[in-house]
Structure 1
Amino acid sequence: MPNNIEPHSKYVRYEFAEFAGKLEPVSYEIPTPTGREVLLKVDYCGVCHTDVHVHDGYYGLGQGKRLNLGDRGIKLPVTLGHEVVGTIVASGEEVKELSVGQQKLIYPWIGCGECSVCQRGEENLCAKPASLGVFKPGGYSEYIIVPHPRYLVDLGNLNPANASLLACSGLTTFSAIKKIQPIHQDEFVIVIGCGGLGQLAIRTLILSGISNIVAVDVSEEKREIAKSDGAKYAFDPRSDDVADTLVNVANGNCIAVLDFVGNEQTVDFGLKILKKGGKLVVVGLHGGELRYPIPFLVTKAITLIGSYTGTLAEMRELVEFANQHDLVNIPVELRELARVESAVEDLSAGKVPGRIILKIS
Structure 2
Amino acid sequence: MKSFQVVDFHAPLQEVDRPTPQPEGTQVLIKVKAAGVCHSDLHIWEGGYDLGHGRKPLSLKDRGVSLPRTMGHETVGEIVAFGPDVKDADKGGLKIGDVALAYPWLGCGKCPTCLGGDENMCAIKPNALGVYCDGGYADHMTVPHPKYLLNLKGLDPVTAAPYACSGVTTYSALKKVEKDFDTPIVIFGAGGLGLMALSLLKAMGGKGAIVVDIDARKREAAEAAGALATVDGKAPDALEQLMKKAGQPIRAAIDLVGNAQTTQLGFDCLTKGGKLVIVGLFGGGATWALPLIPIKAVTIQGSYVGNLRETQELLDLVRAKKIPAIPVTPMPLAKANDALVNLQKGQLVGRAVLTP
Scaled to the shorter chain, the TM-score interval is: over 0.9
Q: Aligned residue for 2:336?
A: 340
Deviation per CA, 1:76-108, whole angstroms, max 9, x where unpaired?
101100000001111112222342111110000
Indicate yes or no: 2:29 matched with 1:39: yes
Q: CA deviation at 1:216?
A: 0.5
CA distance 1:89–1:212, shift in 2 (3 Å)? closer
Q: Aligned residue for 1:91?
A: 82
Aligned 8 A contact 1:252 1:275 in 2: no
Distance in 1 (CA, whole Å) between partners of 2:73 and 2:245 is 39
Aligned 8 A contact 1:191 1:216 in 2: yes
Distance in 1 (CA, whole Å) between partners of 2:25 and 2:208 is 50
Q: Aligned residue for 1:7?
A: none
Q: CA deviation at 1:230?
A: 1.2
TM-score scaled by length of structure 2: 0.95
Q: Aligned residue for 1:264?
A: 260
Deviation per CA, 1:87-139, whole angstroms, max 9, x where unpaired?
11111122223421111100000100011111121111112111100000000
CA distance 1:263–1:231, shift in 2 (3 Å)? same
Distance in 1 (CA, whole Å) between partners of 2:294 and 2:20 is 56
Structure 1 gaps of 5+ residues are 1-10
Aligned 8 A contact 2:30 2:78 in 1: yes
Q: Aligned residue for 1:286?
A: 282
Distance in 1 (CA, whole Å) between partners of 2:327 and 2:254 is 21
Q: Aligned residue for 1:321?
A: 317
Aligned 8 A contact 2:203 2:317 in 1: no
Distance in 2 (CA, whole Å) between partners of 1:249 and 1:130 is 43
Distance in 2 (CA, whole Å) between partners of 1:335 and 1:252 is 43
Indicate yes or no: 2:22 matched with 1:26: no
Q: CA deviation at 1:328?
A: 4.6
Distance in 1 (CA, whole Å) between partners of 2:99 and 2:181 is 39
Secondary structure of 2:326's aligned partner: coil
Q: Aligned residue for 1:231?
A: 227
Indicate yes or no: 2:209 matched with 1:213: yes
Residue identity over aligned pairs, in percent, reads 42
Q: Aligned residue for 1:244?
A: 240
Q: Aligned residue for 2:184?
A: 188
Q: Aligned residue for 1:4?
A: none
Indicate yes or no: 2:70 matched with 1:79: yes
Structure 2 gaps of 5+ residues are none
Q: Which stretch has the larger CA shift, 107-116 or 211-220?
A: 211-220
Deviation per CA, 1:303-332, whole angstroms, max 9, x where unpaired?
111111000000000000011123352211
The amino acid of 1:109's aligned partner reads: W
Distance in 2 (CA, whole Å) between partners of 1:300 and 1:132 is 40
- Figure out how many residues of one structure are paired with residues of the other and give that number: 349
Q: CA deviation at 1:227?
A: 1.1
Aligned 8 A contact 2:99 2:153 in 1: no
Task: Give the counterpart of 2:154 among 138, 157, 169.
Answer: 157
Task: Give the counterpart of 1:148 among 145, 148, 157.
Answer: 145
Distance in 1 (CA, whole Å) between partners of 2:288 and 2:258 is 15
Aligned 8 A contact 1:163 1:328 in 2: no
Aligned 8 A contact 1:162 1:328 in 2: no
Secondary structure of 1:275's aligned partner: strand
Distance in 1 (CA, whole Å) between partners of 2:354 and 2:321 is 24
Q: CA deviation at 1:41?
A: 0.7
Q: CA deviation at 1:52?
A: 0.7
CA distance 1:201–1:221, shift in 2 (3 Å)? same
Deviation per CA, 1:145-187, whole angstroms, max 9, x where unpaired?
11111100011231111111100010100000001111253x2
Secondary structure of 2:190's aligned partner: coil
CA distance 1:28–1:258, shift in 2 (3 Å)? same
